[in-house]
Amino acid sequence: MGTEARVLRTRTILLWGAGLLVVTALAATLLLTLLGGGRPEDSARLDALRTAANIVVGTGGAAALLLAARRQRSAELDLVQKDHDATERRITEIYGKAADQLGSDKAPVRLAGLYSLERLAAGYAENRQTIVNVLCAYLRMPYAPGDEDLEELQVRKTAQRILLLHLRPGPPEAPSGAFWPDVDLDFSGAELVGLNLTHCVIRSIVCYETTFSELTSFRGTEFRTKADFNKAWFTDRVDFRGTVFGGERDSFNGAVFAGPADFGKKSAARLAGARAQRGFPRTWPQDWEERPLADQPDQAELTRKGDPGQPPAR
């Protein structure tokens, strides 16, 4: 029903109620005149008339109150809907502008796009995973760490730092929106330089065929449901000390450690199928060890202690 139709209907009901009250009052006056003789039967009829009049008047008042409540509720719903629509338009505009900025050929404009998305995620929790997906997608864009484009490297490190700041739980007095819980990260195929996600709480992470260069740290980080590092390549030092692997599908199958690595002795990491280039200091979980490959003496596979595996190189 349109606004004009609702207004017309409301006016009609009000006029009808007012007319009913006027008719009731006139009828009461007439009957009081006719039945005011003082006889017992007249008194009884007047009492019945008063009762009926009270019912009619009360019903009219209740109807008016109900009508007023309905009008108030309708106005509130209209206001809520208008506010919702305005918010959705504002979010769409900010998101669209930020996405355009990320496609700019100017590094400062791309940085502005990242910060716009960060503010949007901080203010609207329902959009956080979508914005995290955009940040991850940006980091998955083709990039070679050896390029001379130092500005793009700073943009990418800024995207990584935004994730660090908001995936790490803060103190209770931290402002609302500072911590983004229950977030999934997908870095599949990305080239990540100096990734630092220490002491973060992340629902899941996928790093399939991801290349990590410079110091990479997940120290003290909790992966609640899944940590997929299958076929990941760690070209430099990596720190997994105190990392919590909470999922049943955590895996490093096919991963390569080409530099120093530290998991800590008590780590629950599943390293079956992973390889390591020999000659670097490493701390593996207490149940795991490097076993040199017979056909590749500079390479070792990660196996559980006591597993037969391949025969060691001679």
The larger pLDDT score, comparing residue 191 to residue 22, is at: 191
Instruction: State the average pLDDT over residues 26-39.
Output: 52
In sequence order, the β-bridge partners of residue 204 are 184, 226
The mean pLDDT of the chain is 83
- pLDDT score recorded for residue 55: 60
| Diameter of the chain measured on Cα atoms | 131
Model confidence at 253: pLDDT above 90: yes
**Residue 136 reports pLDDT greater than 90:** yes
Please tell me the distance from the alpha carbon of residue 113 to that of residue 137, in angstroms, as a whole number. Answer: 14
Please tell me what DSSP assigns to residue 193: E
Q: What pLDDT score does 60 carry?
A: 60
Q: What is the pLDDT of residues 84-102, one digit of tens each?
A: 667 678 788 888 898 899 9
Mean pLDDT over 46-65 rounds to 60
Least trusted range by pLDDT, from 16-25, 118-127, 234-243, 261-270: 16-25
pLDDT tens digit string along 258-290? 999 999 999 999 999 999 999 999 999 999 999
Q: How confident is the model at residue 54 (pLDDT cuts 50, 70, 90)?
A: low
Give the span between the Cα atoms of 143 and 153, in whole angstroms.
9
Output the pLDDT for position 7.
47
The predicted pLDDT at position 216 comes to 98
Phi, psi for 211 (deg, rounded to 5):
-105, 125
Residues 26-36, mean pLDDT to the nearest whole number: 51
Task: Report d(CA 154, CA 274) in Å as an integer.
Answer: 31
pLDDT of residue 14: 46
Beta strands in 187-280 (DSSP E): 191-193, 201-206, 211-213, 216-217, 222-228, 233-234, 238-239, 244-245, 256-257, 261-262, 275-277
Average pLDDT over residues 162-176: 87
pLDDT at 92: 86
pLDDT band at residue 43 under the 50/70/90 scheme: low
- Parallel, antiparallel, or unpaired for β 275-277 and 261-262? unpaired
What pLDDT is stored for residue 189 in this prediction?
A: 97
The pLDDT-based confidence of 83 (bands split at 50, 70, 90) is low
Whether the pLDDT of residue 103 is over 70: the answer is yes
171-226 tens-digit pLDDT: 877 777 799 999 999 999 999 999 999 999 999 999 999 999 999 999 999 999 99
- Token digits for 283? 């701390």
- What number is the average pLDDT over the span 295-314? 75
pLDDT band at 247 (very low <50, low <70, confident <90, very high): confident
Of residues 57 and 253, more confidently modeled? 253
Instruction: Output the pTM of the full model.
Output: 0.72
Task: Reduce the DSSP state of residue 99 to 3 states and report it.
Answer: helix
| Domain range list for the chain | 3-83, 103-304
